[in-house]
Amino acid sequence: MSRALDRTRPPLYGDLSSWALIHADALAFLQVVPTSSVDAVISDPPYGLAFAGESWDGEYLATGEGFQAFSTAWAREVHRVLRPGGYLASFGATRTMHRLVAGVEDAGLEVRDQLLWLYSTGVPKGRRMPNGLSSALKPAYEPILLTRKPLPPGRTLTQHVRETGLGAIDIEGTSADPQSRSWPTNVLLAHEERCAETCGPRCTVRVIDEIAESERRGARPVSRLFYSTKATPTEREAGCEHLPKTKSEIFSSKSGGRPRANQHPTVKPLDLCRWLVRLVAPRGGLVLDPFTGSGSIGCAAVLEGRQFIGIERDARYVPIARARLAHWTKAALAEGSQA
């Protein structure tokens, strides 16, 4: 893993039937992915915040112009490799979302919506100063940009969906209550990690339900359309038991500095990723993640019966993503055999 990347033949891992992981730079490798070969792209790219001093999120990306240019560069390649009507779902940050939207739109993708993932367990990015002051609020949501590659000229959406299976999102497959035919919204809620049979006092879901209950006696709690906890330590570490464990300052406030094998700082929960896969990727389709990180999107894809290709340039995260993908692929096979 420590050797320099060979841009012509980067390291390739996976079973190559359900998933593949390429250790390469996304912008370099995307150029060799065939045109119109991918059904959906779901990714958690850099946010341009100089997060935790990471090089992949800093330097020129930490400027507005640089981040927007970077967003256009990778989204232009995503536009090329997506099949017409294919969707891109991209996580973003509140401070730089406007640059992400502009960059992706400049690449030729159609902006379809913006989803809000609400949670109550965000980590403040500013420090506490004297007299109760700080430079930042505590984050409580992340936006998710939803865009689509344009349909071929003269093709209606109905025609395109009938002929290719692409162009529309799966409303029934992402409803929290399919029997009632409830329509999923563009607001997604997250429980606190400690929530079980009852919710903690600061849980977003509990607060919204209590407000709804006080205003609509007897009505079904509004938060129950869809919710997902943040990634728990057990979920983060599953499959990584054989990897070395180290401590990280990022997690010290939550776990007292407990050593972890999965050191990626922005692991997304599998429930949320699986929901996004069902929303935008056709059954049996191919999902691409150009910024794989620790592999959450890929794990969700294989669990949902989709094929997956991931690209990750950071050698620290490739073994973690490989281990998690292998673990959840076995879980998917076991789940399928029991069905």
Tens digit of pLDDT for each residue in 49-90? Answer: 766 666 665 677 778 899 999 999 999 999 999 999 999 999
Within a domain: residue 86? Answer: yes
Tell the residue number behind the tokens 């330097």, with chain if given.
59
Residues 6+ apart with CB under 8 A from 329: 15, 18, 19, 302
Contact between 222 and 177 under an 8 Å Cβ cutoff? The reply is no
- Per DSSP, what are the bridge partners of residue 133? 129
Q: What's the structural domain count of the chain?
A: 1
Q: How many CB atoms lie within 10 A of CB 98?
A: 13
Within a domain: residue 3? Answer: no
* % of the chain surpassing 90 pLDDT: 51
* CA within 13 Å, CB half, 200: 13
- Give pLDDT, residue 4: 35
Reported as a pLDDT band with limits 50, 70 and 90, residue 274 is very high
Residue numbers of the domain that contains 272: 12-127+135-190+228-338
C-alpha 259: how far from its chain's center?
A: 24
Within a domain: residue 218? Answer: no
- Nearest 5°: the CA angle 286, 43, 52 is 150
Reported as a pLDDT band with limits 50, 70 and 90, residue 238 is confident
The helix (H) or strand (E) run that includes residue 298 is helix 296-303
Within a domain: residue 246? Answer: yes
Within a domain: residue 209? Answer: no
Question: For 103-125, how does the pLDDT look when each residue is reduced to its tens digit (9 = 90+)?
Answer: 999 999 999 999 998 876 677 77
Within a domain: residue 199? Answer: no
CATH of the domain at 275: 3.40.50.150
For the entire predicted model, the pTM comes to 0.83
Backbone φ and ψ for 136, nearest 5 degrees, come out as -155, 155
What letter represents residue 116's amino acid?
L
Tell the residue number behind the tokens 């690449």, with chain if given.
107
Residue 177, pLDDT > 70, answer no
- Give pLDDT, residue 224: 43
Within a domain: residue 41? Answer: yes
- Give pLDDT, residue 326: 95
Give Cα separations from 19 to 11, 15, 16, 130 (angstroms): 14, 6, 5, 50
Residues 6+ apart with CB under 8 A from 280: 40, 42, 87, 89, 146, 169, 170
Within a domain: residue 5? Answer: no
Contact between 281 and 301 under an 8 Å Cβ cutoff? The reply is yes
